[in-house]
Amino acid sequence: MKSGAYFLIIPLAFACAGSEGSQPSLIAPGAIARATNDPSRIDTVGLADLIVDPKATANHWRVKNEIITNNLCSAIEGGVTPGDRRLLRFTVTTPNQGDADNYIGNPREHFAANDGLFELDTCHGHFHFKHYATYRLIDAKTGYVWRAAKRGFCMLDTDPYLPELRDAPRNYWNCGTQDFDGFQGISKGWNDTYVWKLGGQYFVLDGGDGQPVVPAGNYYIEVEVNPAYAPDKKGNCPRFKDPATGLCHQFAESNYANNTTRVLVWIAESGPSGPEKNSKDPTAADDYDGGI
C-alpha cells in the first residue's frame, strides 16, 4: 500500500465504520454518495480489468498472536474461536487497470432485485458483495489449502493506481447500509485496498477456526479477484461467462486470466514475523470490512 494512502482513505473508514457502531461517523451515512457520486461521470464504455497487486501483499503482512474477542463480527462470520489466536494478517489491493469503471452502484437496489450480487450481513448491519475475492493459504511443499476468515467486501476507490490516470474521477465512496444508499465500484485507474488490520484479513494458524494447525514453513498467499465458479447443469451463468474457460464471474472484465496472484511468505515456529511485525495490533474499531 502506498505510504500516503492512509490520508486519502481515512474518511472512508469513518463513513463505513460508523454504520456498524464501532466509532462515530464524521459524515452522515449516504451523504458522500449524494454529494460526490455523480452517475453521469461513470465510465462504462469499454470493460474493467481487475488484477491483484502482489507488492501490496508482499510488503504488508505479519504473523503474530492476538486476542480475538467474542463480539467481533469477523470472528463470528469466519468461525473463529475467541481467545489468544496466532494469525497471519495481510493486505490485498485490487487495481482496475481497464479502460472502464467496474460499476456496481447501490447495494440496496441489487439486494431488492435479488440479482445474486449482495447478501445482508446482520452483524455489520449492511450488505456484503458476494464472491468479490477469495483468499487461500497454500503450503509451498504439499499444496494443502487453508481458507481465510474474510467474508464480506465493499468496493470503493481507496487510492490511485495508474500514474497516467491520477486525475481520473473518483466516483465510488460509500459502502451504504440497510437504511442509506451506497455507491460501490472501482473507477478505472483506482485501487480497492483491504489493509491487513481490517476484520477478516487473516488466516488462523493455530487451528482456532476448525481447520488444521498451520506448521512452520513456506506458504503462498493466493488471492483471486472476481473469482471463477462453475455454471449450472445447463452451462448457464447467472452473471457473466468467460468465453475462454466457460466459467462464471460476478462482473464482466476484458481479461479474466490475470485475476490471481501468489505471494510467498514464511511462518516461524513462534514469535512475530513479517514486514508488519512491529506494528500496533488492530483494535475493535478496525473490525469492519469496508474497501480500505
Instruction: Write the pLDDT tens digit of every residue in 201-227.
Output: 999 999 999 999 999 999 999 999 999
Predicted pLDDT at 177: 84
User: Across residues 187-208, what is the average pLDDT?
Assistant: 94
Predicted pLDDT at 37: 58
Q: Give me the residue label for grid cell 452517475.
A: 39
Predicted confidence (pLDDT) per residue in 160-178, tens digit: 887 776 667 788 888 888 8
Separation between Cα atoms, residue 289 and residue 79, nearest integer Å: 16
Separation between Cα atoms, residue 80 and residue 187, nearest integer Å: 34
Q: Are strands 126-129 and 133-139 parallel, antiparallel or unpaired?
A: unpaired
Q: What is the amino acid identity at position 76?
A: I
Predicted pLDDT at 14: 33
Residue 206 burial by Cβ neighbours in a 10 Å radius (0-12, 13-18, 19+):
middle
Name beta bridge partners: 133.
225
pLDDT band at residue 122 using 50, 70 and 90 as cut-offs: confident
Predicted pLDDT at 162: 76
Predicted pLDDT at 67: 92
Separation between Cα atoms, residue 3 and residue 54, nearest integer Å: 16
pLDDT band at residue 284 using 50, 70 and 90 as cut-offs: confident
Residues contacting 4, CB < 8 A, separation 6+ = 159
pLDDT band at residue 38 using 50, 70 and 90 as cut-offs: low
The total number of residues written for the chain in this structure: 292
Q: Which of 44 and 40 is assigned the larger pLDDT?
A: 44
Predicted pLDDT at 179: 86
Lowest mean pLDDT among 12-26, 210-224, 227-241: 12-26
Closest CA relative to residue 252, chosen from 112, 113, 46, 97: 46
Predicted pLDDT at 41: 76
pLDDT band at residue 242 using 50, 70 and 90 as cut-offs: very high
User: Across residues 243-260, what is the average pLDDT?
Assistant: 96
Phi then psi for 111, rounded to 5 degrees? -65, -40
Sheet architecture: strand order including 260-267: 145-147, 133-139, 217-225, 260-267
Which grid cell is 216? 512452520
